[in-house]
Amino acid sequence: MKKTLLFLSAITLFLAACGGSSTEQTSSSSSTASTPTESKAPMEPGELLIVKSDCVGCHHTENKLIGPSYKDIAAKYPATEANISLLAGKMIKGGKGVWGPVPMTPHSKITEDDAKLMTKYILSLKK
């Protein structure tokens, strides 16, 4: 019963994240347009890819959601080419067991180059 509830919760968050990212983009675009004097630093390519993906349904920059926070990932893995390739592969193929019992779903539509850009951004958040 607990597994079913956890699974349904994960699906609900995933679906909410898919619909929520475009709304967030639209609202941030309109707020930027309405206040031209307020300038934000441009997003890095990896950060932009993350925002456009469904990652926000399970991950947050500072807080654990379903999966670990990006800062926790950055603290665990040094930014080496080996780790960048490893984590990019986990994004694409999925993973299980490193951060607990909830598996990371595969994201086979993400290219290896995009996954590496996303990983480099995440690892740049090391405290």
Helices 112-123 and 81-93, packing angle to 10 deg: 120
pTM, rounded to two decimals: 0.67
Torsions phi, psi of 106, nearest 5? -70, 150
Q: Is the pLDDT of residue 102 over 60?
A: yes
Q: Residue 70 maps to which CATH number?
A: 1.10.760.10
Domain span at 29: 2-123
Q: Are 121 and 88 in contact (CB under 8 A)?
A: no
| Higher-scoring residue by pLDDT: 121, 25 | 121
* 50-69 confidence digits (pLDDT tens): 999 999 899 999 999 999 99
| Higher-scoring residue by pLDDT: 6, 21 | 6
User: Tell me, what's the pLDDT at 57?
Assistant: 92
Hey, what are 122's tokens?
Answer: 């995440």
28-62: string of b/e by CB count within 10 Å (b at 16+)?
Answer: eeeeeeeeeeeeeeeeeebbebbeebbbbbbbbee
Q: How far apart are the C-alpha atoms of 58 and 69, rounded to whole Å? A: 9
| 100 Cα distance to chain centroid | 17
The pLDDT of 75-84, averaged and rounded, is 96
Number of domains in the chain: 1
| Higher-scoring residue by pLDDT: 28, 108 | 108
User: Tell me, what's the pLDDT at 12?
Assistant: 57
